[in-house]
Homo-oligomer: A and B are copies of this chain.
Amino acid sequence: MKSTSPGNFPAALQARATRVSYEAGATIFRRGSPTHSVFFVEAGAVRLVRYGRAGEEVVLHHASPGEFIAEASLDSARYHCDAMAHEPSQLLQVPSAALKELLDTDRDFARQWVGILARQLRSVRGRVERLSLKSARDRVTHLLVSEGRGPKCELVLESTLKDLARNLGLTHEVLYRTLAAMEREGLIERGRGVLSLGPGHMI
């Protein structure tokens, strides 16, 4: 479990927030229940999930420390997905009403909030782009190129490869095989919890 200074947490919200903790697997809110709060992940990890008819989980979003969740539900009456703590997590809970009021009264905060939403939007659109690619290899490459840091597009893995597979819309078996093959061919390199582009890769 990683911890973060509340650096990304807007100062203006500090006064309205209360700190809450959840154990791994705990439910933070359920789809369909009335929206009452927006949350900020201080430590741990939270997942927004929906379920298909076959009961399979679809992870809409995996929120790491420094991210908001349910920020898109501010203006809707009910939550549109389930939120569950994926690890023991510490959150800041902000009542929707307080946040809305702040949006109306605090110009700087409103500006920040617009920026937060826009960033989320760009990030999710990136994921759509990735899921639109047909092959597993392309998705892995796209992930590294768009999310990786530095000249080698290094990407530090949050949680497990199994989770990454879900993020990429693949089964874990396919991801394991794909990574192994790409490593053999020098397309990528793997360290402990790190992926990066390898020498065999031309952009």
Give chain A's interface residues, CB within 8 Å of chain B. 48, 50, 52-53, 58-61, 71-76, 80-81, 103-104, 107, 110-111, 113-115, 117-122, 124-125, 127-129, 131-134, 138, 166, 169, 203
Contacts and interface: CB of A to CB of B under 8 A. Distances in A.
A63 to B, nearest CB: 12
A138 B52 contact: yes
B113 A58 contact: no
B125 A58 contact: no
B125 A74 contact: no
A50 to B, nearest CB: 6
Contacts of A113: 114
Specify how many copies of this chain sit in the oligomer.
2
Given A58-B129, A103-B111, A110-B114, 9 more contacts: A52-B138, A58-B133, A61-B125, A72-B118, A72-B119, A75-B118, A110-B110, A124-B125, A128-B131
A121 B68 CA distance: 13
The binding surface of chain A is classed by DSSP as helix
A121 B169 contact: no
B52 A115 contact: no
A124 B124 CA distance: 7
Contact of A127 (B59, B117, B128): B128
A78 to B, nearest CB: 12
Contacts of A128: 60, 124, 127-128, 131
